[in-house]
Structure formats: C-alpha cells, structure tokens
Homo-oligomer: A and B are copies of this chain.
Amino acid sequence: MSEKQTVAPSLTKTSKPSVQHLLGIEGLALSFVQDVLARAEHLLTAVVQPERIVTAMPGKIIAPLFFEASTRTRHSFEIAALRLGAILLPVRTETSSIVKGESVLDTVKTLEALGVRYFIIRHANNGLPAWIADQVNATSHVINAGDGANEHPTQALLDLLTIQQVKPRFQSLIVAIVGDIVHSRVAHSLTQALFLMGVPEVRWIGPASLLPEEIPPPGVRCFERLEQGLGGADVIVTLRLQQERAHFSFDTNWYSTHFGLTETRLKLAKPGAIVLHPGPVNRDVEIDAKVLESSQSLIQKQVRNGVAVRMAVLQLLGEAKGDAV
C-alpha cells in the first residue's frame, strides 16, 4: 500500500461533477457537496431522528463489500439502505487485504448481473473502488467506503455536516487535524472537503514521522507540537491510531503524553471549540476520557449524522442519471 501524500485543494466550481459514483472528495463539485449536506439535514429531521423507514428506493439492491474490518461504517451504510427501503444484500466478504482486485471485480460483475445497483466498497488498496467503477455498467454506482490511505469521502461529508450544524461559517474556521496524517484517508478526504467549503486554514499536527515529508499543499500548516497547533482552532479532529496497521510502531503511552487531547490542552483552542473523531476511539490515547464525555465532543453526533449523509449519497447518486445535480 503506497501512501498518497499530496493533498491538493485544487477543486473549484468548474470541475465537472461525477455523480454516478462517489469515489473521493477529489473531483467533487461544491454544488454536489452542498446538495448532500442539505439532503442529509432534511433526512436527519424527517427520517433518522423520528426513526422512520421510507420507500425511497424500493427494489434497488445495495451490496456492502467490505474487505477491511468495519463496524461503524458498514452498519451506517446498512441502516441508511434499510431506512430508504432498499434491498440490502447480505454479502459475506473476507476482511482480508489479500483479496485481489480481479477477484473483487468478478464479484461485482456477478452481482451486477444479479441486479445489484449500488456497491459500497472498502478495501486496503488505494484506488480499488475507482478501478472497479471504471468497469461497471452505466446504471451501477460505486461508493468508496475507505480505500487504503487514499480517501474516505462519506466520513469527510459527515464531518462537514457535524461542523456545519455548530459552526456554519466555514470561511472563518481554523481546523486542526491531529494524529497519523500520512496514513490517514480521513485526513486526506477531510482536508480537501474543508478547502472545498472555503475553510482558510487546515492544520496537520503530529509527530514528524506521521506528517508528510513534502511541502504541504497551500492552506495547510504543519505542527509537530500539539500545544502549538491548537492555538485558535475552532475544530479539532483527532485521528485514530491504527495499531492494527502493519506500519504502526508507536508506543501509545508516548503518543498520549505528547498528542493526547486533554482538558488542559483543549483550553488552548478557541473557547467553544468542538472535538471530532472518526472512531473507534482509543480511550485515553487520542482523547482523554473527560474530553470525550464533555459537551465539546461531538463524536456521537458524527455517528448519527453518518446515517443521514449516507442516505443522502445513496439517494443523490440514484437521482443523478435522470437530471444532473
């Protein structure tokens, strides 16, 4: 798995929207992101919070293809599909990084012939969902649910929704992302999404070995000390230390001592700063338990927003063929 370290905030309204698939934040039009956020906010109020089911996608078949372990993201998509009244196909996949692209493609082509229309793919290899998307029918939709160190677009979209609910003026925000930046598809997707929304400054904070070696893209400032990076931040996104990954060789005590978000450190940020985490949290490693349980932590809200965002994405891709968004 190679690392994707260039994160360019290069997207503007002139990029053509790709609304058949959701493969990454890179290449998305601002208008599509805004549509997702608006639709998600509506679905949150109309369907998710009142715990309803609607018949928005009757007969449409959705297949989750997760080749990496996942509880939160997989169930979030499953609930989104079921709340929309779609058919959720119970696919059993080996959660093993050795499942090759060819084999994934064979499965996808078979499922496509069976009538599956939405493929939600998580895989350890960068770019695998995009490679699959190049080879499916025009009526099929591929959604990237996380590919290697590359992208995790629905996570970025739910982060945007969570931020927008509290701090809707993106143009005036400073957002700090803390942790293993270099291996993080969450950091990669979120950074691009924030720039797309007009955020002027994104900070990448972590030990030198977890920051990219190259010069960061314009708008990004790197910090090797948490205390320096937090000053004036409106939003703090802590990343998960992925101890299960092969490249991981950190002492978690050392990490939490230097980069754990404690109550004291949180005070360095702007008053009312909010704390996000893609989950699952390593309690007292990335975030102190007290911060976790404070009102500034919006982690539970992120999870709930995730269902609404995934419903919105499923619906908008479905509508895209009739009239372009």
Show the binding face of A for B, using Cβ within 8 Å: 47-48, 50-53, 58-61, 71-72, 75-76, 78-79, 82-83, 87-91, 106-107, 109-111, 113-115, 117, 279-280, 300, 303-304, 306-307
Task: List 28 A-B residue pairs with CB atoms under 8 Å apart, sorted by A's residue number.
Answer: A47-B59, A50-B59, A51-B59, A51-B60, A51-B115, A51-B117, A52-B58, A52-B59, A61-B79, A71-B107, A72-B110, A75-B110, A75-B111, A76-B114, A78-B89, A79-B87, A79-B89, A79-B114, A79-B115, A82-B87, A88-B90, A90-B90, A106-B280, A110-B279, A110-B303, A113-B304, A114-B304, A114-B306
Closest to A69 in B: B92
Distance A280 CA – B113 CA, assembled complex (angstroms): 12
B residues in contact with A79, CB < 8 Å: 61, 87, 89, 114-115
Distance A106 CA – B72 CA, assembled complex (angstroms): 11
How many copies of this chain are found per oligomer?
3
User: Shortest CB–CB separation between residue A18 and chain B, in angstroms?
Assistant: 23
Picked from B53, B58, B90, the residue with its CB within 8 Å of the CB of A53 is B58
Distance A78 CA – B303 CA, assembled complex (angstroms): 25
User: Shortest CB–CB separation between residue A307 and chain B, in angstroms?
Assistant: 6
Check A87 against B91 for contact (C-beta < 8 Å): no
Picked from B75, B83, B109, B113, the residue with its CB within 8 Å of the CB of A59 is B83
Check B60 against A307 for contact (C-beta < 8 Å): no
